[in-house]
Homo-oligomer: A and B are copies of this chain.
Amino acid sequence: MRYLLTLRYLGTAYHGWQVQDNARAIQPIIQDALCEMFPQRPGVTGCSRTDAGVHANMYCCHFDSDLIRDPYGVVCAVNRRLPNDIAATACRVVPNDFHARYSVKAKEYVYVIYNGAHRDPFYHGRAYHYRFPLRVEAMDRAARDFVGTHDFSAFCAERAKEGDKTRTVMNARVERQGDLVRFTVTADGFLYNMVRIMVGTLLRVSEGKIPPDGIPAIVQSRRRKNAGPTAPAEGLYLNRVFYE
């Protein structure tokens, strides 16, 4: 039986999904939490690596077991064992050829900017605090040009391994809701630090350092140095994972 488990977590305390350099990761914590219902401690496969400090409103992973368990009971049992900053939200049985990572059709990320003049303790670690009033219309105009199939090398951390850097962005928009400014982007895949570099570039647009119609030239240049800086991880949320 293959189970699909959906999670929600605050990434602040973690070095992302996967274990690396003995840092605290989310994957082994999920595996430990499954032990009560699945004593053979199945290995868990996630939908993506996430960077240190990145949050997830929805993260998907799968695992295999011969044991037949009530999916609702799995969620309850797992939640009893998970720490307060991670929770299971759903579980279901999926076909054996379903794969949490390879079956993904698209993912949606949201980057949250708290745009108030002064610090807000309720957003600490959950949004990036940018204190100068953002020109949201210019940012939104610029963001629309991310849509399409492009080589996004300019929006990829330089230390990332070589490989095809072409991705298809289906949707990209910037919206204000009070003191919060949200960048939402949906694509069939994301390069290393791609969303955070997009945000750093949109902040440059707001600051007037890049024109609102300047994105296509940056994309075409394929040079990381033409894009803006990498925005901090604390504002980034994996928001949705789309399967067939």
Interface, chain A (partner B; CB < 8 A):
8-10, 75-76, 79, 82, 84-89, 118-122, 124-126
Contact = CB atoms under 8 A, between A and B. Distances in A.
Contact of A118 (B9, B75, B124, B126): B75
A124 B119 CA distance: 21
B9 A79 contact: no
B8 A87 contact: no
Contacts of A79: 118-119
A8 B84 contact: no
A8 B122 contact: yes
A124 B152 CA distance: 37
A22 to B, nearest CB: 24
Contact of A124 (B76, B84, B125): B84
Given A75-B118, A79-B119, A84-B124, 11 more contacts: A8-B120, A8-B121, A10-B122, A79-B118, A82-B119, A84-B121, A84-B125, A87-B119, A89-B118, A89-B120, A122-B126
A233 to B, nearest CB: 16
A10 B121 contact: yes
A87 B118 contact: yes
Most chain B beta carbons < 10 A, residue from A82, A121, A124: A121
Contacts of A118: 75-76, 79, 87-89
9 contacts: A8-B122, A9-B121, A10-B122, A76-B118, A79-B118, A79-B119, A84-B124, A86-B121, A87-B120
A89 to B, nearest CB: 6
A75 B124 CA distance: 17
Nearest to A89: B118
Contacts of A125: 84
